Amino acid sequence: MMQLTIPPRPILLETLEHDMLIDGRRVPALSGKRFETRNPATGELLATIAHGGAEDVDRAVKAARAALAGPWGRMKAVERQRIMLRLADLVEEHFEELAMLDTLDLGAPYSRTIMGKARAGALLRYYAGQATLIAGETLPNGAPGDVLSHTLKEPIGVVAAINPWNGPIGMSVWKAGPVLASGCTLVMKPAEQTPLSALRFGELCLEAGVPDGVVNILTGLGDAGAALSAHPGVDKIAFTGSTGVGEKILHAAAASMKRVTVELGGKSPNIVFADADLDKAVPAAAMAVFANAGQICSAGTRLFVQSAIHDEFMERLAAFTRTIKVGDPLDPTTQMGPVVSAPQMDKILAFIAGANMEGARPLTGGTRMSGAGYDGGYFIEPTIFTHVADDMTIAREEIFGPVLSAFRFETVEEVLARANATEFGLGSGVWTRDLATAHRMARGIRAGSVWVNCYQMLDPGVPFGGYGMSGFGRESGPHHIEDYLETKAVWINLD
């Protein structure tokens, strides 16, 4: 394997103060307030960020509305496409810097963040391709006389994107893709823990030729997100984050009838049948939950193992998990970094304590890591619980940390019922060599993605999203762009 080289510290971080990006310019918050962003591996202060309030939200939304009426609104799809392809090249060219910003801001190992390069480029190129495919239809009608009817597809207008912190640059690109392809404009609020790569992405948009005001990066805390989701000048909200905040956003959006899509939390089942290829299933089951320190919405956090192989599987899983290298995100061999913040760490440790209280047994892990290299940061051991009952808190609630709950099962019908006994429905995994089992599980599981003999596959061309409390709407795939378009019916009476 090629040795991974860690790039130098991004030049951006030579400046401590970072402003938001509105109408093509970097501006401080009108209040003058700032908030801090820190490196969760060390506690080091990375930057102070403009702390946007409702008045900044208003400025950003007005800039985005004005941009709809400017050169962007008159641009042909082919021109937007050219800009997006240039942006894809720029994002790839600068990806080492973007990945480093995310590694420092989020704590994810550089070996992981740099892997997002191929996906970022592919996403932008996929949506660029869609720009020139947007078209209305000529439709027959039964009206008396000679009457033509056709549809026009128009950009929906100003889109507010509100993002979580667990995959910052990937999320920025994913949100911007359909906005730029459809000719909408964007006010994007990155999470307060990870604002840096979004600001750099906004600059790259300008460099690629995206006109001023089309992509605005509004930095701030939850109240800025709330102001954005209630602003009457916003036509659509694309939210990714927790189910609780998703509910608030639906309420806020109701007053001005905004279109909303919400990609929320999960408690995804990963199901291993006795006939599975265990050499593949063991490491995959571990990384389904320990990748990104468990901070993935579709993480496979409920592991169901068929009785005949349960004990052997759990032994191998524990052995593999103990080999996962946790530590400095800037060490190229690190596989798992810290969790994002002290509050997130405390929340995860409380879930672990609760699991012990409720009678689950830790097979491996279960504590905060301490000692040299760990003390300044928020490191938690990869943790596996066995003897978990289906109604325990760790079996039901999203933890968003490196904690796996393992269960034993006997039959297809039983595991299907237990896998579906959750309010969520985001990801799911099935490990079997039996074609019929694979298809029956794929049909039976209530979740937006079913991964058979793999986990966490994503592609720009394939839809991703949730059932139930995991939200609604699908990002990626051929139909995602529809969420960004209005359909207008035009009737022409020729008589």
Catalytic residues: 263, 297
In the complex with ligand NAP, the residue whose CB is nearer, 317 or 336, is: 336
> Which part of the chain contacts Mg ion (CB under 5 A), choosing from 35-43, 428-436, 438-446, 460-468?
35-43
Q: Choose among Mg ion, ligand NAP, none what residue 192 binds, the Cβ cut-off being 5 to 8 Å by kind.
A: ligand NAP
In the complex with ligand NAP, the residue whose CB is nearer, 239 or 407, is: 239
Q: Choose among Mg ion, ligand NAP, none what residue 226 binds, the Cβ cut-off being 5 to 8 Å by kind.
A: ligand NAP
Site for Mg ion in 390-449 (CB under 5 A): none
Residues 6+ apart with CB under 8 A from 358: 389, 392, 393, 394
Q: Smallest distance, Å, CB 476 to ligand NAP?
A: 10
CA quadruple 13, 345, 263, 36: dihedral, nearest 10: -30
> Which part of the chain contacts Mg ion (CB under 5 A), choosing from 36-44, 72-80, 221-229, 464-472?
36-44
Asked if 383 interacts with Mg ion (CB under 5 A), we say no
In the complex with ligand NAP, the residue whose CB is nearer, 244 or 359, is: 244
Nearest residue to the partner ligand NAP, using Cβ:
225
Asked if 301 interacts with Mg ion (CB under 5 A), we say no
In the complex with Mg ion, the residue whose CB is nearer, 105 or 483, is: 105
Asked if 295 interacts with Mg ion (CB under 5 A), we say no
Q: Choose among ligand NAP, Mg ion, none what residue 249 binds, the Cβ cut-off being 5 to 8 Å by kind.
A: ligand NAP
Q: Choose among ligand NAP, Mg ion, none what residue 80 binds, the Cβ cut-off being 5 to 8 Å by kind.
A: none
Asked if 163 interacts with Mg ion (CB under 5 A), we say no
Q: Smallest distance, Å, CB 28 to ligand NAP?
A: 18
In the complex with ligand NAP, the residue whose CB is nearer, 169 or 276, is: 169
Q: Smallest distance, Å, CB 340 to ligand NAP?
A: 8
Q: Smallest distance, Å, CB 237 to ligand NAP?
A: 9
In the complex with ligand NAP, the residue whose CB is nearer, 42 or 344, is: 344
Q: Which residue among 56, 102, 105, 235 contacts Mg ion (CB under 5 A)?
A: 105
Q: What is the 3-state secondary structure (H, E, C) of the chain?
A: CCCCCCCCCCHHHHCCEECEEECCEEECCCCCCEEEEECCCCCCEEEEEECECHHHHHHHHHHHHHHHCCHHHHCCHHHHHHHHHHHHHHHHHCHHHHHHHHHHHHCCCHHHHCCHHHHHHHHHHHHHHHHCCCCCCECCCCCCCCEEEEEEEEECCEEEEECCCCCHHHHHHHHHHHHHHHCCEEEEECCCCCCHHHHHHHHHHHHHCCCCCCEEECCECHHHHHHHHHCCCCCEEEEECCHHHHHHHHHHHHCCCCEEEEECCCCCEEEECCCCCHHHHHHHHHHHHHHHHHCCCCCCCEEEEEHHHHHHHHHHHHHHHHCCCECCCCCCCCCECCCCCHHHHHHHHHHHHHHHHHCCEEEECCCECCCCCCCCCCCECCEEEECCCCCCHHHHCCCCCCEEEEEEECCHHHHHHHHHCCCCCCCCEEECCCHHHHHHHHHHCCCCCCEECCCCCCCCCCCEECCHHHEECEECCCCHHHHHEEEEEEEEECC
Q: Choose among ligand NAP, Mg ion, none what residue 303 binds, the Cβ cut-off being 5 to 8 Å by kind.
A: none
Q: Choose among ligand NAP, Mg ion, none what residue 37 binds, the Cβ cut-off being 5 to 8 Å by kind.
A: Mg ion
Strands 147-155 and 485-493, by their bridges, are: antiparallel
In the complex with ligand NAP, the residue whose CB is nearer, 50 or 297, is: 297
Q: Choose among ligand NAP, Mg ion, none what residue 123 binds, the Cβ cut-off being 5 to 8 Å by kind.
A: none
Q: Which residue among 37, 298, 364, 449 contacts Mg ion (CB under 5 A)?
A: 37
Q: Smallest distance, Å, CB 378 to ligand NAP?
A: 14
| Size of the residue set binding Mg ion (CB under 5 A) | 3
For residue 142, count other CB atoms closer than 10 A to its CB: 5
Q: Smallest distance, Å, CB 415 to Mg ion?
A: 39
The residue assigned the tokens 């609604």 is: 472
Binding positions for ligand NAP, rule: CB under 6 A: 162-166, 189, 191-192, 221-222, 225-226, 229, 240-242, 245, 248-249, 263-266, 297, 398, 400, 426, 466
Site for Mg ion in 167-226 (CB under 5 A): 193
> Which part of the chain contacts Mg ion (CB under 5 A), choosing from 104-112, 393-401, 412-420, 447-455?
104-112
CB 163 within 8 A of CB 190: yes
Q: Smallest distance, Å, CB 287 to ligand NAP?
A: 17
Report which of 234, 107, 239 is spatially closest to residue 163, judged by C-alpha positions.
Answer: 239
Q: Tell me the C-alpha distance between 275 and 281, whole Å.
A: 11
Q: Smallest distance, Å, CB 35 to Mg ion?
A: 10
In the complex with ligand NAP, the residue whose CB is nearer, 40 or 183, is: 40
CB 198 within 8 A of CB 217: yes
**Binding interface with Mg ion (CB under 5 A):** 37, 105, 193
